[in-house]
Structure formats: C-alpha cells, structure tokens
Amino acid sequence: MKLRKLFCIASVALAALASSQASAVVVTGFSSAAGNTHDDYSAAGLVSFDLNLESLSAATTFDFTIESKDLGGPLLFNALVKNLSGSGISRFALTLTNATFDFIGSVNAPFLPGASASGSGSRATISFPTPDNFGFEIGDVLLDVVPGGQDWRINIGSLGVGDSFSLRMEVPEPGSLALLIGALAAAGFVNRRASNRRRHAV
C-alpha cells in the first residue's frame, strides 16, 4: 500500500513538473514534401528551427501552439534553411495564419551575398540575386556571429495559451510567373493587332 501511494505521489509530481516546463511555443504539426525534415529549437518567446529541404516540390507548413511564457510581446523568429535539393532557389515565400510579421529582420546566405527580405502583414518574401543552391539563415540564427543579424518578430496579437498559428514556407513556381508574363505579352499582341486592323479599315 505504501509503495502504491509513493508511486501516485511521484506521478503527480512528475505531471506537475512537466506542465510547469510546458511554457514555450510548441510545434504541433509539420507537413512538407517527402524527405524534408526539421529540427526544432523553439523556446519561451522564440520560434526557431532548422529546415532540411530535400525537395522543393511542395510547401512546408509548421503549426505552433502558444504556451504561457510566449505571451506579453511578439515572438522572435529565426531559422536555418538548408537547400539539399540540388535546385537553386530564387525566391522563398513565407505566409502566417492567425499571426503577422511585426518586423522583417535579416537574411544571410553565406555563399551568396545580397539576399534580401521584404513584406508586411502575414506575408514576406526572400529574394536572391542569383539562385541559392546551399541554404540561408533567416534572422540571427548564430547569435551575433554574423554582423547585422536580426531576428524577425511574429505578432501573435490576441492569441492566448493553447491557441495556435501556422507558418507556411514555399519556393514559388517560376512557371507561374512565366505564364503570367506570357499571357500579358499575348494580350498586348492581340490588342496591337486589333488596333492596326481598325486603323487600316479607316
């Protein structure tokens, strides 16, 4: 009987300890193309991970749940994206659901200087002067080792403990941009032809 009582007390103590430590933003979901993996380094008030991209064929989505120590301000955000696909990345798009970007920080591509980030609200885009084949750092991944590194900030607004938000990341298809440019060029050609016909008819 005493052993059983001791076991129950120990179980309650461990559960209380676990719940008191559950105070940092938690990754509750991850979806991506087959072969893509991640390592989570998130902590209280910080979203941080390594993303290993073996394939660029599909978007990657992280789902996060807010814990008690994440409240009281925006979350800091940094990530190391490793491009293991063998294909170059010209642009990289980030989209938040149930949250917004409070500040767009730094981007560092060690083997390709000149990367830049822009955006507002729930969307941001990272652009590279020439396609990146190795990987890049979003924010201050290396803790001030890279001069000028600044973490991004995610505004979780009115979210409370237990609420969730998502971060979707993808390489926009260059084909869609090419199709758009092609369609605009074709529309211009048709309009020019119609205009020339009207001129000749007069």
Is the pLDDT confidence value at 134 over 90?
yes
Q: Is the pLDDT of residue 121 over 80?
A: yes
Query: Domain boundaries in the chain?
Result: 25-174
pLDDT (0 to 100) of residue 148: 76
Q: Give the model confidence (pLDDT) of 55-85 as tens digits.
A: 999 999 999 999 999 998 899 999 999 999 9
List C-alpha distances in Å: 116 to 5, 79, 88, 94, 174.
60, 15, 16, 13, 18
pLDDT of residue 146: 58
What's the whole-number mean pLDDT along residues 22-30?
83
Rounded to an integer, what distance in angstroms lies between the CA atom of residue 84 and that of residue 76? 26
Provide the token pair at 148: 């000028």
Give the pLDDT confidence score for residue 6 in this predicted structure.
37
CA distance 111 to 76: 25
**CB neighbours of 165 closer than 8 A, spacing ≥ 6?**
63, 64, 66, 96, 97, 98, 99, 154, 156, 159
CB 49 within 8 Å of CB 38: yes
Residue-averaged pLDDT of the chain: 82
Own/partner pairs, 16-23, CB within 8 angstroms, 24+ separation: 22/67, 23/67, 23/68, 23/69, 23/70
Q: How many CA atoms lie within 13 A of 175 on its CB side?
A: 2
pLDDT tens digit sequence for 82-113: 999 999 999 999 999 999 999 999 999 988 88
pLDDT over threshold 60, residue 41: yes
